[in-house]
Chains A and B, each alone.
Chain A
Amino acid sequence: MTTAATTTRRTLIPFGPQHPVLPEPLHLRLVLEDEIVVNALPAVGYIHRGIEKLAELKDFQQNVFLLERICGICSFIHSLAYCQGIEELMQLDVPPRAKYLRVVWSELNRLHSHLLWLGLLADSFGFESLFMQVWKTREKVLDLEEATAGARIMLSTCAIGGVRRDLSDEQIAQVLHGLDAIERDFESFIPAVITDTTVKHRLVGVGVITQQQAHELGAVGPVARASGIARDLRVTGYAAYGELGLNPVIETDGDCYARTLVRVRELHQSLLLIRKALKRLPATPIAVPVKGNPIGEVVSRVEQPRGEVLYYLKANGTKTLERVRVRTPTFANIPALLAMLPGNELADVPVITLAIDPCVSCTER
C-alpha cells in the first residue's frame, strides 16, 4: 500500500437527479470521506416550470387552478393559501360552511400526503410490503377525495370566496365510514412502523439536527416539529382550525425516527380533525359572490403536509396580478437537509433525503 491510500481520500458522488428512491429529480453532490458524507451541495432546476411567471398572465380567478398544479400532493392546500390571500385583499367574508369544508379537504390532502411519504420511506430502506400496505390505504383516501371533490388529486374545489362543491349527507356518511376503514388499516401497519427493530435500526439517530439548528436554518413543518419546535400554522386558526382546536405534534430527538413519529401522529390528528369538522358542519351557503378586482399586497401562509407555505401576492386593481411569489416548505427544508447529511453514511443518504419529504415540483415551481 502506498502512503496515499492511508490518508483520508475524498470522493465526490453525484446523488440523483435520477435515483431509485427519488420520486422527483433532485441532485445532491456528496463529498465523502470513505463512507461518511462530509459535505453536500444541492442542485435543482430539472423541473422548473415558471409557474410564478405564468400566474402574472392569467387572471386572478384562473390562477386558482394554475397554482393548484404546483404540487401534485397538496394541491388543495396550495389553492387554499392563494384564495385566502385574495380574500384578504378583497375583504371577502367566507361563509362558515366553506371554512369547515376547506378543513376537510385540507386534512384529506394531509392524510394521503403523509401516507404517500410513509410508503416512500418504507421503500427507501427496502421494506416493500409496508410500502404496498400503506399505499393500499392511501388509495382509500384518494377514493374519498374523488367521491367528495370529483377528482383524486386535483380537487379544484377551492374558489375565491368559498368552495365550489358542497357535501350531501350521504357523502358525509361515506367519508366518516371511509375514515373508520382507514383507521382500522392504521392499526395493522403503524405498529410495524414504530416498533419494528429493523425499521428503528435504519431511522433512530440518523440525520439528526438540533432544535437550535432547525430554528436557525428555518426548517418548517414536521422537520421542525421533530426537533422540538412547536410550530404549526394551523394553530393560528385560518379556515375553521381556530374553532376545531389542535396542538402541534412535537418530538424532540430530531432524527429520522422522530420525523416519522410526528407524521404518524399527524395521521391520527387529521382523522380527528375531519371527524370534528364534519360533525360540526354549519348549514350556511358555501360561497360568496366575487365582485371587482383585488388591489394591494398580502402575505398568506398556511400549513401544508410538508410545512409552511408562503404566498406573497401583489395586485394592482386589474384582473391580472403583478406578482405571485410562492415559498414552498421543501425550499425551506433544503438548508436543514444539508445540515443533516454530514456525518452519516452514504447508505443513509436516501433515507435522510426522504425523511424531509422532498417535493421538488413545489421547490422549483
Chain B
Amino acid sequence: MLHNVTDVTVATLLDAVAARFPQGYRLITLTCVDCVDNLEVLYHFYRNYELSHLRLCVAKGTVVPSISGIYSCAVIVENELKDLFGLTFDGLVLDYEGRFMLAADAPVAPMLRTAPAQAAARNGELKMEP
C-alpha cells in the first residue's frame, strides 16, 4: 500500500517540491496514471530508504509546471511523460518537443487509455495484440 502521500495542486506543486530539496529528499521518478477522466501524476521521493509521494490530479490538457528547475534530473522523465501521455510541462529546462522516446511517425501519446475505436482512428489502425 502507498503511504506518505500528500495531495498537491498545480499551484502548490512547486512549493512542495522546493521544500523537499533542501531536506535531502531525492527524486526517484514521476509516474503518470490515466484515470480516464483525468491524469494523476505521482512524484516519488525518498530519504534514508523512506518513501514519500506527492499526488497531483489534473484534467487532460492541463499545463503542469516542470520541476526540472529544482531537480534537474526530472528533465528526462518529464520528457518521457510528455511523449507517452501527451502531458505539457511548463518551464522544462530541456525540451525534446515530444521526440525524446518516440519518433516522428510513432503513435501520439500511446500510453493514454482511450476507447479502442478512438485510438485506432488516431493511430491509423495500429493494432496491439492482447
Contact = CB atoms under 8 A, between A and B. Distances in A.
A301 B73 CA distance: 19
Given A218-B71, A334-B76, A335-B76, A45 B103 contact: yes
A217 B1 CA distance: 27
A44 B130 contact: no
B114 to A, nearest CB: 12
A89 B77 CA distance: 26
A58 B130 contact: yes
B77 A331 contact: yes
Interface in A308-332: 308, 310, 312, 314, 322-323, 325, 327, 331-332
Contacts of B1: 88-89, 296-298
Q: How large is the interface on B (under 10, 10 to 19, 20 to 34, 35 or more residues)?
A: 20 to 34
Contacts of B113: 56
Interface string A201-241: 00000000000000111100000000000010101100000
B71 to A, nearest CB: 7
Contacts of B102: 45, 48
A327 B29 contact: yes
Interface residues of A, number: 41
B14 interface: no
A217 B73 contact: yes
Contact of A217 (B44, B51, B72, B77): B72
Interface of B: 1-2, 24, 26-29, 31, 33-34, 42, 44, 49, 51, 53, 71-73, 75-77, 94, 96, 99-103, 110-111, 113, 128, 130
Interface of A: 41-45, 48, 50, 52-54, 56-58, 88-89, 215-218, 231, 233, 235-236, 296-299, 301, 308, 310, 312, 314, 322-323, 325, 327, 331-332, 334-335, 364
